Amino acid sequence: MSRVRADEEEYWHSSKFRAFTFDDEDDELSQLKESKRAVNSLRDIVDDDDDDLERVSWSGEPVGSISWSIKETASGSTSSLDGRDSSLQKGSSSYAALPKQPSSYSLSSLFKGEGFLCVTLLCLSLSALTDTGVKSYAPELRRPKAEYKDYSSDWSPKDTVRRMQRGKVCSLERFRSLQDKLVLLDEAVAGHDGNVITAVLIFLKRTLRREILFRELEVRQVALCHLIHFLRETGEQKFLLDLLRFLDRTEEVALSQYREHLNIQDVEKRREFLKGCIGLPFSAEDASHIQDHYTLLERQIIIEANDRHLEMAGQSELFRKYPRKASILNMPLVTTLFYSCFYHYTEAEGMFSSPSNLKKTFKIPDKQYVLTALAARAKLRAWGDVDALLTTKNWLGYTKKKAPIGFHRVVEILQRNNAPVQVLQEYVRLVEDAETRLNLATKYKCHDVVIETYRDLKDRIQLTAYKCKVERGSAEEEKINSILNNMVRNTY
């Protein structure tokens, strides 16, 4: 019996493992020393040729770096105590369960660090090897438990709206009853977030019958406006018309139907469609516009057919000199008027393509008509037509120039179309404001107008200064000298 006890004591004193004691020697420092000896013994097993290779961890950082050590320490510490116990019971069979893959990593690279961090890393690494769970290899890949709440079906309508405002994924399918859906809509409206309101409306539109949805939206004007705008943007015309009819908005129904002409490419079909829109319940002003639209398209079809025939036959010199760049079909009224003033200016009023016929039919204001006709005739450099357009005759038979758009606008249009200086000066003189007249005359080099204006203002200093800006020996210089001499005589 004594021999057995002696053998046991000899075993405990001779083994590298020590029994549990409360002595001060069995502290953390002694464990570190023991681990260090284990490290030194492992170095003899490892091939030193691999030390020159660079070692990297799964995260791409060099093995042995501080950041790698911290990450590995954190991941190793997540191993559970139960897993460690089960691995110890299985013994060496746990190592065989792990797949063996060729690797360029060496154990010597794990022990190049010095100090407490390296030794602690060794202890954690050895303990991790004894664990069998693959779950400890990459714990950072696990989904945090808090994220599973994104897909929970326990969120209230208010919480759901808040999460949608933050861009979280929320399923609205759990709201099955009509009451829950309406509470959800009210919460979305109260949140004042248009995207959330639209998302909830799309859900309700898909899960509710139209009559129920329309009835509930009728008392929720904010949500109703959002849905109407959404339907117009997405082009769901039939659904929109059903909604407007339910709300008894007849004028909006008519306007929505009228907008359908934009999707009709064939001209004849569009004309027939507009003809059918005339009888819709528009307001008085809108009904007038629909009628004008139909009449204009009808005129454009007639004009286009005649002009295409003239252009192809080569019977018109104007079409040969200025070929048409585009069709007149579906063009606005102002464009049609410009086209008519350009190609059909001299036609009688009874012709559909006559500018005066268009002005009378569509009640074009004088200012708009003069502005458009002036631009068209100036582009053709028809200065006689420009003069006739701006000349009026009173009841006594006297004529005078009149421009509803102002003569300063006339000068600008003529100058853009490269009008001669003589033509420009004629209309610059008609500008009433002296300062504006001087600015235009100076800008466009209408010397006679500048000289005459300074003469009327009796500004001898400005005349003398302007004399330096004209050419020596020119008629303008002689005119300035004559005016200055007359001013000197009148002073005596």
Give the per-residue pLDDT at 33: 57
Give the per-residue pLDDT at 6: 60
> Distance between CA atoms of 172 and 198, rounded to whole angstroms?
13
Give the per-residue pLDDT at 477: 86
> Distance between CA atoms of 273 and 260, rounded to whole angstroms?
9
> Distance between CA atoms of 300 and 293, rounded to whole angstroms?
11
Of 102-106, 280-284, 330-334, give the lowest mean pLDDT range.
Answer: 102-106
Give the per-residue pLDDT at 86: 44
Give the per-residue pLDDT at 9: 63
pLDDT in tens, 193-237: 999 999 999 999 999 999 999 999 999 999 999 999 999 899 888
Q: Can you tell me the mean pLDDT for 390-415?
A: 89
pTM equals 0.60
pLDDT in tens, 1-59: 555 556 666 655 555 555 544 444 445 555 555 555 654 554 544 444 444 444 444 44
Q: What percent of the chain has pLDDT over 70?
A: 68
Res. 343: pLDDT tops 90: yes
Give the per-residue pLDDT at 483: 86
Measured CA to CA in angstroms, residue 328 lies from 92, 184, 269, 443 at distances of 92, 53, 17, 37
> Distance between CA atoms of 440 and 424, rounded to whole angstroms?
10
Q: What is the 3-state secondary structure (H, E, C) of the chain?
A: CHHHHHHHHHHHHHCCCCCCCCCCCCCHHHHHHHHHHHHHHHHCCCCHHHHHCCCECCCCCECCCHHHHHHHHHHHCCCCHHHHHHHHHHCCHHHHHCCCCCCCCCHHHHHCCCCHHHHHHHHHHHHHHCCCCHHHCCHHHCCCHHHHHHHCCCCCHHHHHHHHHCCCCCCCCCCCCHHHHHHHHHHHHHCCCHHHHHHHHHHHHHHCCHHHHHHHHCCCHHHHHHHHHHHHHHCCHHHHHHHHHHCCCHHHHHHHHHHHHHHCCCHHHHHHHHHHHCCCCCCHHHHHHHHHHHHHHHHHHHHHHHHHHHHHHCCCHHHHHCCCCCCCCCCCHHHHHHHHHHHCCCCCCCCCCCHHHHHHHHCCCHHHHHHHHHHHHHHCCCHHHHHHHCEEECCCCCEEECCCCCHHHHHHHHHHCCCCHHHHHHHHCCCCCHHHHHHHHHHCCCHHHHHHHHHHHCCHHHHHHHHCCCCCCCHHHHHHHHHHHHHHHHHC
Q: Can you name the residues that pair with 399 across neighbouring β-strands?
A: 393
Give the per-residue pLDDT at 354: 94
Angle of CA points 482, 483, 488, to nearest 5°: 100
pLDDT in tens, 52-93: 444 444 444 454 444 444 454 445 444 444 444 444 444 444
Calculate the average pLDDT of the chain: 77
Classify strands 399-401 and 391-393 as parallel, antiparallel or unpaired.
Answer: antiparallel
Give the per-residue pLDDT at 198: 93
pLDDT in tens, 359-385: 999 999 999 999 999 999 999 999 999
Give the per-residue pLDDT at 35: 56
Q: Can you name the residues that pair with 393 across neighbouring β-strands?
A: 399
pLDDT in tens, 299-327: 999 999 999 998 888 878 899 999 998 89
